[in-house]
Amino acid sequence: MFYFDNFYGKKILKSSLLNDCDCFFTTREFPLTKGSLDSIELECNNNRIFMQNKLNIKSLKTAKQVHGENIEIVSDEKDFYDNTDALISNIPNSTLILNFADCVPIILYSEKDNTGSIIHAGWRGCAKEIAAKTVEKMKKELNINPKDIIAIIGPSIGKCCFETDEDVFLQLIKDKTKKDIYAQKGNKYYIDLKMLNKYQLLEKDVHNIDISDYCTCCMSDIFFSYRKENGITARHSAVLKIKGDKKCQ
Ligand SMILES: [Zn+2]
């Protein structure tokens, strides 16, 4: 279940599945990344410093997101990852952050391994199955059992607002019998990207999944929406701090 909370007075969204971790989605009231809104650059810089101080961390590990399928396991030395849409970390006290305005943010975390990930899965990432590939990488390279992973699928553009033409539909919907993930009206399609990502995770044996009902486009008073604001908008962020000790307590 998702609920609004506050991070030292600033509005954030959390999931009850990861109550006790420093793991949340920021909102319009707490922007960390300016996107194309140059006017809020100072506010974002101040918010980042504020958050780092409160989380007691020196740096944030982030990426130049390109709607691709490159997934990186972060290292101690490096904070910025070019051409990357999913970051994985098992380094105690390291903090991951990726940025969103309609695309689907997914946070994965295994308490047992104190290892987590943030994934940027918009429609292109979804078509490339980046969520499934991130789980596979965690399994293969870090020996994480998918059954130990909790997945939080955060606020994104909903089926109500994600209208596409047939070309995008055909890239996304391989199984037309799954009627809960799309609707057709005339020659337009409405696709549920959050549900698509959920199916990808289920297929990889991740079953403990919380999925947000919030549509960023309908709720652009709370979140940033690329579609609603014609691209002229900032970004909300998904943030995950890996615990300092071995287990999430
Ligand atoms: Zn909507």
The Å distance, Cα 93 to ligand 1 centre, comes to: 36
Supply 49's token pair: 């410093």
| pTM of this structure | 0.96
Radius of gyration of the chain measured on its C-alpha atoms: 17
Sequential pLDDT tens for the chain (249 residues):
999 999 999 999 999 999 989 999 999 999 999 999 999 999 999 999 999 999 999 999 999 999 999 999 999 999 999 999 999 999 999 999 999 999 999 999 999 999 999 999 999 999 999 999 999 999 999 999 999 999 999 999 999 999 999 999 999 998 888 888 999 999 999 999 999 999 999 999 999 999 999 999 999 999 999 999 999 999 999 999 999 964 444
pLDDT on residue 40: 96
Is 230 within a domain? yes
> In the beta sheet, which residues pair with residue 235?
33
* C-alpha dihedral, 91 to 239 to 11 to 30, nearest 10°: 110
**Residue 222: domain span:** 2-241
Q: Among candidates 148, 146, 150, 152, which has minimal Cα distance to 204?
A: 146
Q: How far is the CA of 218 from the centre of ligand 1 (A)?
A: 4
Q: Note the pLDDT of residue 179.
A: 85
Do the beta carbons of residue 96 and residue 117 sit within 8 Å?
Answer: yes
Q: Considering Cα of 118, then 124, then 129, then 133, what sign does the dihedral take?
A: negative
Say how many Å lie between the CA of residue 74 and the centre of ligand 1. 34
Residue 246 lies in a domain: no
- Residue 131 inside a domain? The answer is yes
* pLDDT recorded at residue 174: 86
- The pLDDT of residue 71 is 98
* Number of Cα atoms under 13 Å in the Cβ half of residue 126: 27
39 found inside a domain: yes
Domain assignment present for residue 6? The answer is yes
Distance 163 CA to ligand 1 centre (A): 10
Number of neighbours of residue 118 by Cβ within 10 angstroms: 31
Query: What pLDDT was estimated at residue 249?
Result: 41
Q: How far is the CA of 223 from the centre of ligand 1 (A)?
A: 12
The pLDDT, as a whole number, for residue 247 is 45
CATH number at residue 9: 3.60.140.10
Picking from 235, 242, 245, the residue whose alpha carbon sits closest to that of residue 36 is 235
Q: Is residue 186 part of a domain?
A: yes
Question: Is 189 within a domain?
Answer: yes
Give residue 219 CA to ligand 1 midpoint distance, Å.
7
Structure tokens at 209: 């999944």
- Does 248 reside within a domain? no
Q: How many domains does the chain have?
A: 1
**Cα 4 to averaged position of ligand 1 atoms, centre (Å):** 19
